[in-house]
Amino acid sequence: MVIEFSKYHGLGNDFILIDNRHSAEPIVTPEQAIQICDRHFGIGGDGVIFALPGKEGTDYTMRIYNSDGSEPEMCGNGIRCLAKFIADLEGKSEVNKTYKIHTLAGVITPQMQANGYVKVDMGTPFLTAAEIPTTLSTAEDKVIAQPLEVAGKTWDVTCVSTGNPHCITFVENSDAIALEQIGTLFEHHPVFPQRINTEFIQVVKPDYMKMRVWERGAGITLACGTGACASVVAGVLNSKCDRFCTVELPGGCLQIEWSATNNRVYMTGAAQQVFQGKYSL
């Protein structure tokens, strides 16, 4: 089988986008996604994203496979790429145009911006242990600055779901974290029954933080949109950052706002097509 694809990235978090508008199920299996994402034997990417027909009144449905073939509920950088991909497929580039996208984390709404950026209404964050999910719990049932033993060290972690699960730790120097060694230990820690994305955050000033991430199902990536949103929520809960904050990732910056008015999180950042092609499966 030969599939047509487009490659996009959001701050170096890169995806293979597939036009799946003719079918309600992804035309690629999780096993094929692993092969396609391979950076030596495939196209190379952090995941494969499918633009499917909308359901329940939405314009489109987004499904995504991580590079290990697992299926996450949501992807922040990915949904900006999807919005650009849809605009390219439709041959439109209307500023302020919104798309209602059905995801496994609910309806998410990206809006095209004047500068080529995409602003995404990410919905409201989930904070209880059951919603994350994690077996770590506290009296209030939110997991804020709770001790967690990983690699012989106690880390103060805050857990937030922005559709998918995140474990956030505030550190003095994010560059000094041995992500290659400890990332997988957080991801597979028994307190996280559905595994976890892990962010290490260095607060530079209340409206600017640096972040490094180990993603569930993908390992170290250059950026994670849902992770940046979760980290700002965690920063506010720990009185470490403002509700409007720039998050600097290895691949670039995202502007995040956690609205005090409606409790929704907004993410603004770039998304770009890099090439198109055909791939033989």
Ligand X SMILES: N[C@@H](CCC[C@H](N)C(=O)O)C(=O)O
Return the residue of 169, 197, 202, 246 that touches ligand X, per CB under 6 A. 197
Return the residue of 45, 123, 183, 225 that touches ligand X, per CB under 6 A. 225
Is 233 an interacting residue with respect to ligand X (CB under 6 A)?
Answer: no
Q: At a CB cut-off of 8 Å and minimum separation 6, what does 263 contact?
A: 124, 125
End-to-end distance of the chain based on CA atoms, in angstroms?
Answer: 5
Is 215 an interacting residue with respect to ligand X (CB under 6 A)?
Answer: yes
Q: Is 162 annotated as a binding residue?
A: no
Q: Is 215 annotated as a binding residue?
A: yes
Q: Which of 75, 81, 159, 167 is catalytic?
A: 75
Is 146 an interacting residue with respect to ligand X (CB under 6 A)?
Answer: no
DSSP track, 191-236: T-TT--EEEEEEEEETTEEEEEEEETTTEE-S--HHHHHHHHHHHH
Q: Is 247 helix (H, G, I), strand (E, B) or coil?
A: strand
Q: Is 235 annotated as a binding residue?
A: no
Measured over the CA atoms of residue 73, residue 79, residue 81 and residue 87, the dihedral's sign is: positive
Is 224 an interacting residue with respect to ligand X (CB under 6 A)?
Answer: yes
Q: At a CB cut-off of 8 Å and minimum separation 6, what does 121 contact?
A: 108, 109, 110, 111, 264, 266
Is 123 an interacting residue with respect to ligand X (CB under 6 A)?
Answer: no
- Kindly state the smallest distance separating residue 33's Cβ from ligand X, in Å: 13
Q: Which residues bind ligand X (CB under 6 A)?
A: 13, 66, 72, 75-78, 164, 197, 215-218, 221, 224-227
Q: What are the binding residues for substrate?
A: 13, 66, 76-77, 164, 197, 215-216, 225-226
